Amino acid sequence: MLVIKDLHVSVDGKEILKGLSLTINAGEVHAIMGPNGAGKSTLSNVIAGRDGYEITSGSVIYKGDDLLVMSPEERAWAGVFLAFQYPVEIPGVNNTYLLKAGVNAKRKHQGLEALDAFDFMRVVKEKAKLVELDPSFLSRSVNEGFSGGEKKRNEIFQMAVLEPDLALLDETDSGLDIDALRIVAGGVNKLRSPDRAIVMITHYQRLLDYIEPDFVHVLANGVILKTGDKSLALKLEEHGYDWVKENL
């Protein structure tokens, strides 16, 4: 589904990703772990299409197409979704309208009819249950006045409604208390499917207790230093990132 080859990315002239390669197939759940400043968020932002990242070399191929030439909205239509580390508040833009516009823009792109208001609300209510989101959040402005945990829950709710093929969860666990983490992780688990790939970016092993990854990657100094299974995360938790560097 996603093939990243030798990706070099700079921000303000400083190289952050230094030849990163990664292959992700449908149905897989990947965890990318690494210390602060390793380039984890840069990677997710580059995949989602955010401005301000200079791609100096390498390629990102998504479903056979060059992802890097696509606009953020084209990527969304093609099934890419980013759950933001810091979801932005957008006063005056209604949460539900945003999703309706997003869903219908994608359907239009796929040559499907727009969902009518009734069908759409049915889907929305069903998905809100998935992350135990209070229905009153649906009629509020996007993330406005939401607590940190509510924002993260709202991201996973949006993911559920938009039904992406490739979902990137950027530190979705940070700022969540243990109950909220359990609920959010439960929502993500219900969204696992053979057609969907999920990439979790996280600092901590504890998320992986709830969402079991197929692969764990260690990202440091702009490259994937090591790839393993779930046990790699446990070793990291125990020994720290320096252990990986020392044992290369």
Cβ-defined contacts of 121-127 (< 8 Å, 24+): 121/96, 123/161, 124/96, 124/99, 124/161, 127/157, 127/160, 127/161
Q: Which tokens in the block code for residue 241?
A: 């990132």
- DSSP letters, 182-238, are HHHHHHHHHH--TT-EEEEEES-THHHHHS--SEEEEEETTEEEEEE-HHHHHHHHH
Chain centroid, CA 92 distance in Å: 25
Residue 134 to residue 219: CA distance in whole angstroms: 36
Per CB under 8 A, the list member of 56, 57, 72, 147 interacting with other proteins is 72
Total residues contacting other proteins (rule CB under 8 A)?
A: 36
The residue (of 106 and 153) whose beta carbon lies closer to other proteins is: 106
Site string for other proteins, 129-148 (x = CB under 8 A): ------------xx------
The residue (of 50 and 239) whose beta carbon lies closer to other proteins is: 50
- Residue 81 Cβ, how far from other proteins at the closest point, in Å? 8
Per CB under 8 A, the list member of 162, 223, 225, 234 interacting with other proteins is 162
H/E run at residue 151: helix 148-162
Angle between helix 148-162 and 95-109 (nearest 10): 30
Site string for other proteins, 169-208 (x = CB under 8 A): ----------------------------------------
Site string for other proteins, 75-114 (x = CB under 8 A): xxx---xx-x--xx-xxxxx--xxxxxxxxxx-------x
Per CB under 8 A, the list member of 6, 65, 66, 73 interacting with other proteins is 73
Q: Which tokens in the block code for residue 169?
A: 């969860």
The residue (of 81 and 146) whose beta carbon lies closer to other proteins is: 81
Please list, in sequence order, all residues whose beta carbon lies within 8 angstroms of the beta carbon of residue 13, skipping any fewer than 6 positions away: none
Q: Identify residues 8-67 at the interface with other proteins (CB under 8 A).
A: 48-51
The residue (of 94 and 221) whose beta carbon lies closer to other proteins is: 94
Residue 37 zone, left/alpha/beta (φ > 0; ψ -120 to 50; rest): left
By CB under 8 A, name the binding residues for other proteins.
48-51, 71-73, 75-77, 81-82, 84, 87-88, 90-94, 97-106, 114, 117, 141-142, 158, 162
